[in-house]
Amino acid sequence: MKLQQVYLAAVVLAVMASTLADEEAKKKLWERLDHLDPDHDGLVTQEELKNFAFRERNRDLWEDADEQWDSMEVPPGEKLTFQQLKEKFYTDEFPEDEGPFGRTVQQDHTRFNASDQNQDGALDKEEFLAFLWAEEYPHMHDLITLETIEDLDRNGDGAVSYNEYRGEDEGTAHGGDFQEDPEFQEFDKDADGKLSHAEVKEWVLGPTLDMIKEDEEKVKDVLSKLDKDEDGKLTRSEIEADPEVIDTLRYDDDDDGFIHDEF
Ligand SMILES: *[C@@H]1O[C@H](CO)[C@@H](O)[C@H](O)[C@H]1NC(C)=O
Ligand SMILES: [Ca+2]
Ligand SMILES: [Ca+2]
Ligand SMILES: [Ca+2]
């Protein structure tokens, strides 16, 4: 009898302790998941989940984001103009026909304009990141495709022939048959011997598009598991019902994880 009571008390204490630890872990989890809900309205939307997954996948880039922006020395509250960017990019070291990213000043201006989503003639930090990491921003994908075609398309027909693909001058190439190049054929879907805009896009951005698709699938999966009332948004209690589900949006499992190390 006595022993049973002791046992019972121990069980009760253990349950209480684990509940408290659970509460504490949840609280920390939510604090550290702050960047899930950057507008702090207490709801995590599909868009916010997507951005979260995107940032997780590109954590290395994001660690660098502030530094990149700071390097442009834009005064607080102001935006980056092309003139300012040009002064930073094109120095004695980098002439205007080959800037720090191997693009011409003209190409950088076109890219700058494409990054300027609200078309006010200057870039805020987010727009500047789209300028730098255009691959990661679907609204920049046509621009990247055009840049690639521009770089390779020597005869100006708007497509990339097999010779151009191989980086050889038209006419001086030692032949080479695209039909014997399985890698080229993989991208030349209509087998006409040259890569069209859509084919170049798939060639250059295929792997990135796959990862973006993968993010979208994961976000859908997270919503299907956590969004109990199916309004497309997650409340705090919906996330807390199974906090580890959010973890599936993470890419690596290195030790600075914000969930595993709490449990
Ligand atoms: C970029 O946009 C500006 C207007 O904001 C325009 O004057 C300029 O010609 C454009 N440059 C390129 C290369 O598209
Ligand atoms: Ca929100
Ligand atoms: Ca083709
Ligand atoms: Ca919901």
> Cα of 113 to ligand 1 centre, how many Å?
6
Pocket test for ligand 1, best of 85, 109, 143, 150 (most atoms within 8 A of CB): 109
Closest ligand 1 atom, residue 82 Cα: 1
- Please, how many CA atoms are within 13 Å of residue 54, restricted to the half-sphere of its CB? 18
Protein residue with its CA nearest to atom 14 in ligand 1: 110
pLDDT given at position 240: 87
* pLDDT tops 70 at residue 256: no
> Cα of 45 to ligand 2 centre, how many Å?
6
Closest ligand 1 atom, residue 109 Cα: 13
* pLDDT tops 80 at residue 4: no
Q: Count of CB atoms within 10 A of residue 80's CB?
A: 22
* C-alpha to C-alpha distance for 252 and 91, rounded to whole angstroms: 38
pLDDT given at position 169: 58
Q: What is the mean pLDDT of the chain?
A: 85
Q: Count of CB atoms within 10 A of residue 62's CB?
A: 15
Write out residues with Cβ below 6 Å of ligand 1: 106, 109-110, 113, 121
| DSSP helix/strand/coil, 103 | coil
Ranges 120-124, 188-192, 244-248: which has the least confidence: 244-248
Closest ligand 1 atom, residue 106 Cα: 13
> Cα of 263 to ligand 3 centre, how many Å?
53
Q: What is the DSSP string of 215-232?
A: HHHHHHHHHHHH-TT-SS
Contact 33, 239 (CB under 8 A): yes
* C-alpha to C-alpha distance for 230 and 227, rounded to whole angstroms: 5
* C-alpha to C-alpha distance for 124 and 241, rounded to whole angstroms: 37
Average pLDDT over residues 68-79: 94
> Cα of 35 to ligand 2 centre, how many Å?
10
From the number of C-beta atoms within 10 Å of its C-beta (0-12, 13-18, 19+), residue 194 rates as buried
> Cα of 199 to ligand 3 centre, how many Å?
7
